[in-house]
Amino acid sequence: MKTLRKEITERKVKIAGMGRAIGGRKLQFKNQIRYRLMSGESLLDLAEAAARQALEAASMGIEDIDIIVCAMATPLQAIPCNAALVHERIAKGLDIPAMDINTTCTSFLSAVDIFSSLVDNGRYERVLILSGDTASAALNPRQPESYELFSDGAAACVLVRADKGENSAVLYGRQKTWSEGAHDTEIRGGCGLMTAFCMNEENREDYYFDMKGHRILKLCARKLPDFVDQCLEEAGMTREEIRLVVPHQASRALEMIMPRLGFAEGTYIDRVAQYGNLVSASVPFVLCKAIEEEKVKRGDMILLMGTAAGLTVNLLLMRY
């Protein structure tokens, strides 16, 4: 495993505000609550609501934002990018640049990782990051493991330069991808490799989300513990210094995996029973809720982490 140059400089950024929104149709599978888009509701409605809430929390208007970044796992249209469609909802008439960043379920972490550097180096001052997906658009009723797992939601975050005297910062980010897992979580049909025009009775299942849960768990169990250990060592951080871990709400296996990574119950957020897996919105959604509930306060060290289709693993350390 190649070790990249250790970063020793903190990126002086802070989360100025967050927002979240969830599908209006509530479902229950045994003790698991899920939310899906209502008829007539679109992910763009949720993204818009989350963005407006985040801007309000940051006491800003959209005209204060330097770039709109969609950190979503799935495309709304093949063209244009998601950020252009969100721009139309919240920034029409303005010339704010719009861009997508995608590492599937960990896209939010990637966006914060990248744009904390670009805020720190002065390129941007105020970044609006949006995550969210319509999982329900591709769920297969014949695959209960995934059909009963996901919710549709969105979350937004205003990332800004930290003022002098504030100690908010991004301290460390690291991602790895092992493409042995590229087909363990996928939607094969609908886009460039197998377009909608190719759908027939025989390959119809290829257009659904397909998750090989057992294979993913095995690959994660093999890769994740070393990855987390290596990251914390590189960052010079102990588990005891972390106030709260915000993991991707991947599945109900979270409560099994987190202790194996050295994070005991109560040290991490587990809202899988209440909200399910919100795909790219999982981490920012539960982080937003934790901030609302004052479980995270200014100065607290938080660890965002997650696995994503790829297989990608991603980890970000920040002082809120």
Among 51, 112, 309, 316, binds a copy of itself (CB under 8 A): 309
Separation of alpha carbons 155 and 60, rounded Å = 17
Q: Are 177 and 59 in contact (CB under 8 A)?
A: no
Is residue 177 part of the contact set for a copy of itself (CB under 8 A)? yes
Q: Are 181 and 79 in contact (CB under 8 A)?
A: no
Q: How far apart are CA 300 and CA 23, in angstroms?
A: 30
Q: Is the CB of 161 or the CB of 319 nearer to a copy of itself?
A: 161
* Cα 245 → chain centroid: 14
Work out how close the CB of 265 gets to a copy of itself at its nearest, in angstroms, rounded to a whole number.
29
189 is an interface residue for a copy of itself by CB under 8 A: yes
Per CB under 8 A, 199 contacts a copy of itself? yes
Q: Which of residues 2-21 bind a copy of itself (CB under 8 A)?
A: 2, 4-5, 7
**What residues contact 304, with CB distance under 8 A and at least 6 apart?**
108, 109, 112, 246, 247, 283, 287, 314, 315, 316, 317, 318
What is the SS3 assignment for 256?
Answer: helix
Binding mask of the shown chain, residues 118 to 157, with x at each position contacting a copy of itself by CB under 8 A: x--xxxxx-------xx--xx-------------------
| Contact status: 221 vs a copy of itself (CB under 8 A) | no
Residue 267 is a binding residue for a copy of itself (CB under 8 A): no
Separation of alpha carbons 264 and 267, rounded Å: 6
Count of residues touching a copy of itself (by CB under 8 A): 80
Span near a copy of itself by CB under 8 A; candidates 18-26, 175-183, 248-256, 267-275 = 175-183
